[in-house]
Amino acid sequence: MNRWRRWLCLGATANALLASAAALAQTSAAAPARPTIKIGYVEGWDDSVATSNIAARVIEKRLGYPVQLVPVAAGIMWQGVARGDLDATLSAWLPVTQGAYWAQFQHKVKNLGANFPNARIGLVVPVTATEKSIADLAASKAAYGSRIVGIDAGAGVMQKASEAINTYQLGYQLMPSSGSAMTIELARALQAHKPVVVTGWAPHWMFAKWQLKFLDDPKQVFGAAEHVDNVIHPGLENKAPPVVAFLKRFQWKPGEIEQVMLASENGVKPAVAAEAWLTTHPERLKDWLAGVTPRP
C-alpha cells in the first residue's frame, strides 16, 4: 500500500512539472523577445555620448528593450537612420550644423523634437579675453598666433569656422585635430594664461570646467541658436512604441547634460555616469516617462 502511494505521489509530481513546463513554453511563445534598439552616435562628441547613454539606460532598465549604441561619423549616422540600419540618433544638430543631412534625408526619417533646445556653435575664447566679437580677432593675430584650434575636419563647426575666417577676413589658419585634442590644447593654454581661440559648441563639458565665452557673430556665419534633436527611422513607431513615446518627452534642462559629460571626462565610464545621474535625479526620469506605458 505504501509503495502504491509513493508511485501516486511521484506521478502527481511528474505531471505537475510537465504542466509547469508547458505553461512556461506557452508564456515564452506569447511574449517574444523585445527587439534591440540601435542608436547611432558620434563617438568624439561628448554631448552625443552623454545623451545616448542616458537614453540607453532608460530604454533598457525602465522600458525593457535591449539597446546597441553604434559609434559612427555624422554622415553615416544620418544614412543609417534613413535606411533603417539604425533606429534612432539623438545627435541631430539643426538647423545649421547638420542642415545638409536634414535636407538630404528628411523624407526618410522622422524628427521627434529637441532634446537640447539651446545648442550653439562658434568660436570660443577664455572669458578674460578682451575680444568680444569674431571681427575683433583680426587685430589680435599676433597674440593668437594667427591660428584657431579646431576638431575633425569634416565637422559642421569646422566648415563654418572656415567660412568665418573668410567672411571676417581674419587671416587665421584653422588647425584641424579632434575633440579631445582641442580640449587638451585649450587646457594647456588656460593653465599657461595664454590667449587661445577654439571651435566650440554647447552643450560641452568644457563650459562646466572652465570660464569660457562665445565670440559674438554679428554676420551670423554660425547661425542663431541651434537645437539637438531626436530623429528616428519611421519603422521604430511599430517596432517599439514605448521607446518612441519616451523619446518624444526626452529633453534636457539647462546645466544637466554638462554634469554627465564632465563626469565622463573625469574618468567615469559613460554608462556608469549615466546610471549615476539617473539615480540621483528620479524626478527627471519621472517626467520623461510620464504617460509612457512599458511593453508587458
Cell digits of residue 89: 540618433
Q: Longest C-alpha distance within the chain, in Å? A: 108
Structural domains of the chain, count: 2
Whether 137 is covered by a domain: the verdict is yes
CATH number of the domain within which 210 lies = 3.40.190.100
Residues 210 and 131 occupy one common structural domain: yes
pLDDT over 60 at 4, yes or no: no
User: What was the pLDDT predicted at 198?
Assistant: 98
Do 41 and 94 share a structural domain?
yes
pTM for the full predicted model: 0.75
Mean pLDDT, range 185-199, rounded to an integer? 97
Considering the domain architecture, whether residues 200 and 150 belong to the same structural domain is answered as: yes
The answer on 106 and 52 residing in a single domain is yes
Q: Are residues 183 and 255 in the same domain?
A: no
| Helices and strands (H and E) in the chain: how many | 13, 9
CATH label of the domain that carries residue 109: 3.40.190.10
Q: Is residue 2 part of a domain?
A: no
Residue 195 included in any domain = yes
Is the pLDDT reported for residue 19 higher than 80? no
Q: What is the pLDDT of residue 28?
A: 40
* pLDDT (tens digit per residue) in 224-246: 788 999 999 999 999 999 999 99
The average confidence (pLDDT) of the chain is: 89
Distance CA 3, CA 20 (A): 26
Is 53 found in the same domain as 176? no
Q: How far is CA 57 from CA 41, 50, 66, 242, 278, in A?
A: 15, 11, 9, 14, 9
Q: Looking at residue 294, what is its pLDDT?
A: 78
Does 251 fall in a domain? yes
Phi, psi (deg, nearest 5) at residue 199? -75, 130
Cell 540600419: give the residue: 85
Q: Look at 22-31, 184-193, 263-272, 281-290 and tell me which has the smallest mean pLDDT.
A: 22-31
Residue 145 φ/ψ region, left for φ over 0, alpha for ψ in the -120 to 50 degree band, beta for the rest: left
Q: Pick from 166, 187, 214: which residue ends a domain?
A: 214
Distance, CA of 117 to CA of 226 (rounded, Å): 7
Cell readout for 260 is 554627465
Bridge pairing between strands 212-214 and 198-202 = unpaired
Same domain, 127 and 198: yes
Q: Is residue 295 part of a domain?
A: no
> Domain residues for 159?
120-214
Same domain? 233 vs 112 = yes
Check whether 295 has a pLDDT greater than 80: no
Q: How far apart are the first and last CA of the chain?
A: 49
Does residue 28 sit within a domain?
A: no
Domain C-terminal end among 162, 182, 214: 214
Would you state the cell numbers that stand for residue 264, as one nine-digit string? 565622463
Q: Show Cβ contacts of residue 180 under 8 Å, excluding neighbours closer than 6 positions.
A: 44
Is there a single domain that holds both residue 198 and residue 148? yes
C-alpha triplet 170, 172, 173: angle, nearest 5°: 150
Q: Looking at the structure, do residues 89 and 144 belong to the same domain, yes or no?
A: no
Q: Is residue 16 a part of any domain in this protein?
A: no
Residue 11 placed within a domain = no
C-alpha dihedral, 135 to 140 to 141 to 146, nearest 10° = -70
143 and 202, same domain (yes or no): yes
Last residue of a domain, one of 214, 242, 262: 214
Q: Is 76 exposed, middle or buried (0-12, 13-18, 19+ CB in 10 A)?
A: middle
> Are both 240 and 277 inside the same structural domain?
yes
- Residue 158 gets which letter from DSSP? H
